[in-house]
Structure 1
Amino acid sequence: MHDVLEPDSERGRVYHCLVGRPRARVPELAREAGLDEEAVLAVLRDLADEGVAVAFDTTDSADDRDHAWEALPPARVVEAVLQHDALRQAAARRAGAELERLYRFARRDTGSYGALEVVDDPAEVLAASHRLQLAARHQVRVIDVPPYSGSRAHYLDQEVLQRRRMAAGVVYRAIYQGCAFQDPVAGPNMARMIEAGEQARTLDEPPLKLAIGDDDLAIVTLRADDGPGVVSLLIRPSGLLNALSAVFETLWRLAVPASMAGVDPRIDERDRRILTLMAGGATDDAIARRLGLGRRTVVRRVSTLLAHLGATTRFQAGVQAARRGWL
């Protein structure tokens, strides 16, 4: 359903046209969206099945081409997207719980299970993390959650390694818990890495601590069962590694892009109203007229809000603002 909020997709273009044109018909929508009528009709039927659009029969015709079409309010669509995301996040948590059960099974047995190896020595865990990053040719994906127990020297060493790997063309994508930026040691490191080019997003409660190097190795870090400290699971190419990769990608879609500042700015009532109108598809001119503001003021505020939200479109801004509780 997310693509309904993306005006660059076919479904998003048709929905965007519907938002601005009440009771529109297929030929009119096809012209405005730049699509042929058959494609528009197929999209409209999909949107109707998903409860995003409604057809009104005003001609007693059985042909959908003759119907007038109406969009559901964007706020309701955004809420539906958020509910859908919540279900996907719950599924990711269940996957994490299943992994936890697998870990406990492996610990009761011999310490290894197929493609899984248990490592509880901190130096070995650190060495494995370095090997994972050095071996990566395309990307390193990370989910980082508290507690952040590393020393300042550890984070500085990691910065040096990550900068070197990014300079070699390796893409780093990281999901952080929202409170991470408040940590006095980890927070500044994260902000510097984002500024250096790391793609970072935040999520309220990621279900596990994870690092994946390409599709070759994953490291899951868990609290130790029988004492203080942590243990790590090294997972090599297998169905389990594929499942962890899918969990990461699901959480990545749910997460909110992190600003370089690392914290949500406070927004006033004017910005809240601008975001609400943006989510409804209003143009800068329409927002200026509605709120009695100068167009340049609106353009500046829209640009600032998009940057803070890490959004590239107005619909994305609306979804992410709703996730942050701004709307």
Structure 2
Amino acid sequence: MTASPDRPPVGAPTPSRHSRGETYEEFLSRVYMAAVRLGVPSRSALRQSGLSDADVDDAVAELVERGMLSSSEDPDRWFVVPPREALTRRMDQVERRVALTRATASEVESLWRRAMGDVGQARGPAQVDGLAGTVEIAHRIAELHRSATTRVWWAVDASVAATGLFADLAAGSTRLSVREEVQVRLVLDSSLLGDPYALAFADRARELGHEVRVANGVPFSVLMTDDKDVLVDLSRYAEDGDGSFGAHRVTWVQALSQLLVAIWDLATPYGTVLTAGQVGEGPPVVPGRLPLGDKDARVLALLATGASDKIIARQLGVSVRTVERRVRYLMEHLGAATRFQAGVQAVRRGRV
């Protein structure tokens, strides 16, 4: 309901409260503003503003139900609830309804598509849904996690929406919870190794038995659930998430699932990054192999993810210059042309 100072024209047809459409909301706004102007509205005063008895009965009953007017001992006289209190309460009610609608939209859509079968796929009005803003993207990511029944595959870059969700989780949110039987595969871009909230999310995922890997150069965030719904999150490139979308078009799901498989195959297990070179393990004793200290093994594991020197230095608690020196040493002794190649060679040869 939006407030409008205009009076309803005399004799204008009044929409029924059962219609609940936009016209009815405008009608209520006009009646409410007339009541506010009157201070203590009465039936006779509202009649003078152009309302019939039927209009008064209809509008007042709805406004009392919404907590914007209250009854008095006189059945033809009412009190206006202080607008700041009444409108704040009304906004809270509307926001709760919107939040509930968002939370159930994905599940309801899934139920509808299952009921419609092939017809639903052909006639569905929202095979591709544009997502406006990081808040809506985050809502959709959370909805897909909650509604998944078999599988969640998620490759995450430095998405504004995703990193915001990770921060919420650190504050105690459960928005990314999934059913116990759902298979989860998570790939973090190496740029997220410097984000403590992203690492906390990855650690929690591993504790729950989910598969977690780290990849270098994830082009954009992609989420797929149950092999039928995908979300492309481009909020890394634009804070308003311009171009981001959700889809359940079969060909798009198939194409993006292949991208997820390729990213997964090229990624390094997150456990390797965490445990390589931990104190007490020591390097494997194999003749002819490059002897590795604890930190060198960790450096190689991080190199395999494409982590920068700055991120490696932060993870190891050493200076960037120290990392640069050790990387040059490791590349030279492994005969690697690039730093990434050094890390991959070490992982494949079992050196970390």
Bin for the TM-score computed over the shorter chain: 0.3 to 0.5
Normalised by the length of structure 2, the TM-score is: 0.41
Q: TM-score, normalised by structure 1?
A: 0.44
**Greater Rg, structure 1 or structure 2?**
2
Structure of higher RCO (CA pairs closer than 8 Å, 6+ residues apart): 1
